[in-house]
Amino acid sequence: MSASPEPQRLPNGLLWLARPVPGALATVRVVYRCGGRDDPTGRSGLSHLTLRLIAGASRYLEPGQFHRLIASAGGRGVIEIDEDFSALQTRVPAHQLERLLWAEAERMSNPRIDADTLASARQQLRQAVQAPQLDPYARLDLAVERHGYLTHPYQRGALGDPEQLRDLDADAVRAFHAANFRCDRALVIVTGAFDEGAVARWMLHYFGSIRPPMLVSAAREGQGASASASTSSTAGPVAASGASGAASPSSSAASPSTPSPSTTPPSAPSPLLLPTAQPADLREARRPQSQTLKLSLSQAPLPAAALVWQVPRADDATTPVWQLAQALLGLGRSGRLIDTLVDEKALAHQLSLRLLQRREAGLLVAQALAAHGQTASPVAQALQQEVLRLADEAITDEELEKAKAMLRRETQAQDWTSERLARALGEAWAVRGDVNAAAKDAAVRAKLTAAEVQQLWRKQIVQAPMLTLLADIGPAAGVAA
Amino acid sequence: MRRDHGSPTSTRVNRRELMLGGALMTGATALPVLAQNGFDRPPEAPQAPAVPALTLEQAKLPNGLRVLVLPRPGAARTQVRLIGEGGWLRDPTGKEGLAEVALSMLAQGAKRDGEAMESADIAYAGDLLGKPLALEIGAASAEIALEALPDQCDDAVNLLADLTQRPALAFEALEHMRSRAQDALVLRRADAQLLAPWAARRAFWGRAQPVQTAGSLKRLKREDVLAFHRQFWRPERSTLLFVGDLTLEAAKGLATDFMAEWRVPKAAPAAPGAAAALATAVPAPASAQFLQLPQGQGCRLVVQSPVPRGTPPVLRALARELMHQRVAAKLPGPWESEIESLGGASRWSFSVTLPVAAVPEHLALLREQLPLLAAEPVTAEDLAMAQALALGDWQAGLAEAPDALIASAVARNELDDCVQWPQRIKAVSAPVLQLLMGSSWRDNRTQLLLLGDAGPPEPAQRAWPGLTLATIRAVIGE
């Protein structure tokens, strides 16, 4: 079976994708389309907490055992929580891939959610929330999210608020897990050095046997949702295969050497499945007018400023144009912002231009750390001036080609290691809805002209309202936002 | 708990079944209806394939420049890196920060064919190759890194030659870079995460460890920069590294085209600096300091212990991997660990960021557990796990940034170890590893450093007796 450019769907609704990368390593990334945006109101961080529980322990993996299994194989794993998705990514030497797939299927199907694991996950979450706060500019980053978005849940961020999860019990987390971390809302990505046929067999064997949500519901109803009854049935040969046998994964699971595993394209999900419960799209309100907020950063030694514009969602047709504009202004040592504000005017010492396009809304954030002796306001003015200048000041062919070359290299570099490729594919699927988005963007960018960039800039940036965040220190500091 | 490390399949089945039974009785097992059948243990792992040593080719130009090539057939791009010896350990006493400022000034102006290149031109030339020019300073090296398509390697080497052989090193650039370095210093002192490694080094090596201050930066003169450049950017003290789809002959040809004429008049020998002092410095004895940062949020905790001078790199790596696993199993958290070698005794550290409320508990546990964990016997499974991790990290480093991995080995004079890493890992025995582990993390050798906000000092002092409040002046010297 050759690697497909599109994800394949198992009969239980789970999508999977394998892409070879030369070398000695293999990576598995499990992505759930559930992130900070899906946290219920008043329970910010619930997705994060659930992800930590999935990573923590399962029926056959005691707390810490997954980690030891991977460590003894010479591997490393991370978990990632984002506004749009949650992901578990693990890299191992390639010959350990089958063991890793077993372990990931085990974590996906049987997470242990009880009072003990919940307490442990809560503690980890609290620590994860704390870590970024050591940064003296953490409040500015927080303000960009909180005030950059007007109504969308993206404004809460993804890490969450430990206080909102303090009184949560295991039942509530189980319910949230069952509704949102379903196998038919997940994608398993396998990258690295492997035999494609073997990976297809392993996927069907280890992941194909996970029960789809409808069957779970049916089993619950049929068995009166009795924990002891259903668990005890797993000791015998009947339970898991009973209902899913008709859908084929169970029979394949019994014959792991099946040469041609049956998978179906994503367009034809099994009729046994419930329709995938994708959350409704949330719309972000348009910013009515420009606004300036002042922050007081008690820890920060130098003033800082951030300018925030609303930009379209990640799957918008104009995304490649935004990427090219961002590269012209902020990528590399010769991006226009650095060239002018850092090297020429020496107003700022650190500077970034971030294009944060998410599944349902996006932001363009220009942020600068003022040089010693400056205040935030003139830095913000210079930053704004330079950003707006892109609309009118000529972009030479050479400058355009330089920006395209840097973006080409970024796209190319995603394929160099199994870890980078898995991460890039996972994000493209969860945020863009298309694992091949990066290649398609690159093809569009190659044909873009300076005029197209400037036209977009005039319409979407020059004429658009903007949020200004001024973070001064000492006497210049204003009222905290 | 740790005894489970090496036996994930053979001894756990019964235990898991028993635990499952126990859970059933208490009704604690979650999501039982999702449970799979017949997947209670991982499949056996196939035999690990033998990992060959690296094929690293090298040559030397008549002027002494060393050329290294790590061939990567089929690689889409080539990494090119020039490695010099002017790391921050070479900072002259009283002029700490010189190495960093001198390196950053290279990208501020140079000459090509007699024409001046401004900083914008240099930045543009690097970006045009696809990836921005990177200037990296380490303890023992100063490096300039570029990346290019195979047919643009000449542009990359040409740019490296311009920056190192014909830099402007102008007074205005010094002022600009000095100002940036001073701001970076201010930022570092306000950020516990950035400050921690410097404070920890100072606590470990004492005054032998160079730390830049506003005063030392202010003292830098253009003559210092020129002398430093002449002293350390010399062909016989530099290495040109290529990683990509090219042969040694091709690499040597590029080096010859642009660097064969690189000649530098003999410079006066540098005054003995920190490098010499650190090679003989005796690590400070056990201590515990709490550096409160104004209105900090959370706390950075560092514990450190010496590793004897001359300990081979593979042995250091295996000890670190194993101890890291043990610490993380006993005190779960995002621990970071490193063993830093600057010539003499190495500094072995663990660090983590903690919420204020968690500090006393972590301190008490660490104090009790560190010597116990280090003294635990090293089993065959322990050794195998540490070897697997050290090999996996080496392979991942080669995949992610092979030029950085090799450059780091060149800078530490450990290139042979890097090239032979898989074989040298295998050569380490459990008793040797045990010996190193057992000699570390003893009460009388372990240092503690807290930076940031750890709440009122009393609970932390009860958890770690002897913890004293320190000032930034006492720790950093300014």
Contact B123 A338 (CB under 8 A): yes
A230 contacts B32? CB cut-off 8 A: yes
A222 touches chain B (CB under 8 A): no
User: pLDDT 10s digit of each residue in chain A, 481 long?
Assistant: 444 579 999 999 999 999 999 999 999 999 999 999 999 999 999 999 999 999 999 999 999 999 999 999 999 999 999 999 999 999 999 999 999 999 999 999 999 999 999 999 999 999 899 888 888 899 999 999 999 999 999 999 999 999 999 999 999 999 999 999 999 999 999 999 999 999 999 999 999 989 887 545 544 444 433 333 332 232 222 223 322 333 333 333 333 333 334 444 444 444 334 444 556 778 899 999 999 999 988 788 999 999 999 999 999 999 999 999 999 999 999 999 998 898 888 899 889 999 999 999 999 999 999 988 889 999 999 999 999 999 999 999 999 999 999 999 999 999 999 999 999 999 999 999 999 999 999 999 999 999 999 999 999 999 999 999 999 886 655 544 3
Closest-approach residue (CA) in chain A for B9? A69
From B184's Cα to the closest Cα of chain A, the distance in A is: 9
**Local structure of residue B91 (DSSP, 8 states):** P
pLDDT at A477: 58
Average pLDDT estimate for B355-362: 88
Q: Indicate which of A98, A333, A349 best probes the interface with B, i.e. most B CBs within 10 Å of its own CB.
A: A333
Instruction: Provide the pLDDT for residue A397.
Output: 96
Residues of A in contact with B130 (CB under 8 A): 405-406, 408-409
Give the pLDDT of residue A278. 57
Residue B259 CA from chain centroid, whole number: 29
The predicted structure's pLDDT at residue B96: 93
Q: Which residue of B has its CA nearest to A407?
A: B130
> Which residues of B are less than 8 Å from A159 in CB distance?
none
Indicate if the pLDDT at residue B377 is higher than 60.
Answer: yes
Contact A72 B49 (CB under 8 A): no
State the pLDDT confidence band at B31, using cuts at 50, 70 and 90.
very low
Q: Give pLDDT, residue A111.
A: 95
Q: Which of A72, A76, A349 faces B385 most closely, judged by CB atoms?
A: A72
Closest CA to B70 of B411, B321, B401: B401
| Cβ contacts from A onto B, under 8 A | 281
Which among A78, A89, A81 is positioned nearest to A39, based on CA atoms?
A81
Neighbours of A220 (CB within 10 A): 15
Q: List CB contacts (< 8 A) between B293 and chain A.
A: 299
Convert A269-331 into a string of H (helix), E (strand) and C (coil): CCCCCCCCCCCCCCCCCCCCCCEEEEEECCCCCCCEEEEEEEECCCCCCCHHHHHHHHHHHHC
The nearest alpha carbon in chain B to A371 belongs to B183
Distance from the B119 Cα atom to the nearest Cα atom in chain A, whole angstroms? 8
Kindly give the interhelix angle for B222-232 and B98-105, rounded to the nearest 10 degrees. Answer: 80
Task: Give chain B's largest Cα–Cα span.
Answer: 85
Question: Cβ contacts (< 8 Å) between A402 and chain B: which residues?
Answer: 124, 127-128
Q: What is the mean pLDDT of residues B42-51?
A: 91
By Cβ distance, the residue of B8, B182, B300 closest to A72 is B8
Contact B425, B433 (CB under 8 A): no
Asked whether the beta carbons of residue B43 and residue A62 sit closer than 8 angstroms, the reply is no
B231-250 pLDDT per residue, tens: 999 999 999 999 999 999 99
Written as one letter, the residue type at A225 is A
The pTM is what?
0.88
Cβ pair A299:B33 closer than 8 A: no
Give the pLDDT confidence score for residue A392 in this predicted structure.
Answer: 93
- A61: nearest CA partner in chain B: B16
Cβ distance of A62 and B77 shorter than 8 Å: no
E-strand stretches of B308-421: 336-340, 346-354
CA distance B219 to B234: 25
Greater pLDDT, B25 or B258:
B258
Q: Report the Cα–Cα distance between both ends of chain B, in Å, rounded.
A: 46
Distance from CA of A464 to the nearest CA of B (A): 30
Chain A positions touching B29 (Cβ under 8 A) are: 59, 112, 114, 227, 231
Nearest to A133 among B8, B122, B297 (CB): B297
User: How far, in Å, CA of B463 to CA of B290, rounded?
Assistant: 13
Range name among A420-434, B30-44, B429-443, B454-468 with the lowest pLDDT average: B30-44
Contact A334 B49 (CB under 8 A): no
Question: Residue A333: which of B133, B147, B384 has the nearest Cβ?
Answer: B133
Instruction: Spell out which residues of chain A touch residue B296, defining contact as CB-CB under 8 Å.
Output: 134, 299
For residue B187, give both structure tokens.
Answer: 């930022």
pLDDT band at B37 (very low <50, low <70, confident <90, very high): low
B163 within 8 A of B122, measured Cβ to Cβ: yes
User: Using CA atoms, how far apart are residues B445 and B436, in angstroms rounded to an integer?
Assistant: 14
Instruction: Output the pLDDT for position A340.
Output: 87
| B177 φ/ψ angles, rounded to the nearest 5 degrees | -70, -35
Q: In this predicted model, what pLDDT tens digit does every residue of B175-190 receive, in sequence order?
A: 999 999 999 999 998 8
CB atoms A76 and B51 under 8 Å: no
The reply to whether A237 touches chain B by the CB within 8 Å rule is yes
Average pLDDT, chain B: 88
Q: What distance in Å separates the CA atoms of residue B419 and residue B48, rounded to the nearest whole number?
A: 19
Distances (CA, A) of B81 to A334, A405, B416: 20, 20, 19
A255 in contact with B, Cβ within 8 Å: no
Residues of chain A contacting residue B159, judged by C-beta atoms under 8 Å apart: none
Give the chain A residue nearest B182 (alpha carbons): A372
Distance in angstroms (rounded) separating the CA atoms of residues A197 and A117: 37
User: Would you place residue B13 in the very low, low, confident or very high pLDDT band (cuts 50, 70, 90)?
Assistant: very low
Could you tell me the pLDDT band of residue B404, with boundaries at 50, 70 and 90? very high
Structure tokens at B342: 């600057």
Residue A279 pLDDT: 62
pLDDT > 70 in chain B, percent: 89
Proportion of chain A in helix, strand, coil states, percent, rounded to 5: 50, 15, 35
Chain centroid to CA B62 = 32
Beta carbons of A331 and B127 less than 8 Å apart: yes
Q: How far is the alpha carbon of A154 from chain B, nearest alpha carbon, in Å?
A: 24
CB contact under 8 Å between A127 and B296, yes or no, is: no
Tens digit of each residue's pLDDT (9 = 90 or more) over B57-77: 999 999 999 999 999 999 999
Distance from CA of A65 to the nearest CA of B (A): 8
- The C-alpha of A301 sits at a distance from chain B's nearest C-alpha, in angstroms, of 6
With beta carbons less than 8 A apart as the criterion, state whether A159 and A45 touch. Answer: yes
Give A 388-407 residues with CB within 8 A of chain B: 401-402, 405-406
A178 to chain B: closest CA residue: B31
From B400's Cα to the closest Cα of chain A, the distance in A is: 6
Q: Please tell me if residue A120 touches chain B, with a CB cutoff of 8 Å.
A: yes
Contact at 8 Å (CB) between A276 and A435?
A: no
